[in-house]
Structure 1
Amino acid sequence: MLEILLDEMRGSFTNVPPAVAAARLTAALVLGGLIGIERERRGKPAGLRTHMLISVAAALFIIVSQQLGSLPFGSDGEIRIDPLRLIEAVTAGVAFLAAGIIFTSGGQVRNITTGASMWLSGAVGLACGSGQIPLAFMASVITVAIVGLVGAAERRMSKGDPEED
């Protein structure tokens, strides 16, 4: 039994070696943090930690799905692995969290950009978990540019209303 556990920890039964999984999770952490730091700086309800956790969780779900695909669940004809179902589950879960921070106050919708950035952090995590780190990096840079630079331009055009998202 101990030998089996040691083999699993060494990665002999896995599709994703531990070092690769660690790199993917770390990339998700950093890139989710890039998105979250702007929200944190603006004092939004979902900031740095939330975005990091969403991104890492999404990456972990993809890595786990890849690991599950390598386990012996029966004959080849019986195994059904559908990564789209996992992606749908992650996006639905993150959308649920994001919807929880969006609210209406005084007839105005608040925190919708933060909700969208949370959803995007989930997508970044999914990309990292599947090994698409360059794609996740590009999406993160674009997101930071949108919420940071475009957001600043919008605030200037609206006379700097600090409550706008």
Structure 2
Amino acid sequence: MESCIKVVNRSASSAFAPDGTYLAAGTMAGAVDLQFSSSANLDIFELDFVSDDRQLILAGTAPSSERFNRLSWGKGPANSDEFSLGLIAGGLVDGNIGLWNPNTLIRSHASKKDYETSESAFVGHLSRDKGPVRGLEFNSLSPNLLASGADEGEVCICDVAKPSEPSHFPPLKIWLT
């Protein structure tokens, strides 16, 4: 008995849109695809449960400088047309966090202007962590706050109210015993 409703064949970190019918998938770090590709992408798929087709529909894509360890999709600022679908944060293997506007990705894919996607959809990056980003999550009560953690044991809190100019709070050191 099969319980899978929809499928996409790839190894990816994933995140659901908080207020939409979309799924983000970032090429997973350490995984090898069927073509043995070394590229990295952020893809957005439309969740169409009415269609009988089992494959998810690609709604947008952008290349990434690195592969993803974590992916988180947070709500956008209230009353913002630009970020009406929120903000996608990708925790990359090099310690950076990429910030993408999913609205721009989807619009550019629909208008067949994929060549503009990577430059206009990528809205900012954070470089606080000193190793691969292992944890990444938007705050559900204050969606402009993004927490990240990496191998060095620090938890970084960033304010992404202005995604192109994120601000950092002093890191918190977590001691594991």
User: TM-score with structure 2 length normalisation?
Assistant: 0.24
Greater Cα radius of gyration, structure 1 or 2: 1
Give the helix-richer structure, 1 or 2. 1
Give the strand-richer structure, 1 or 2. 2
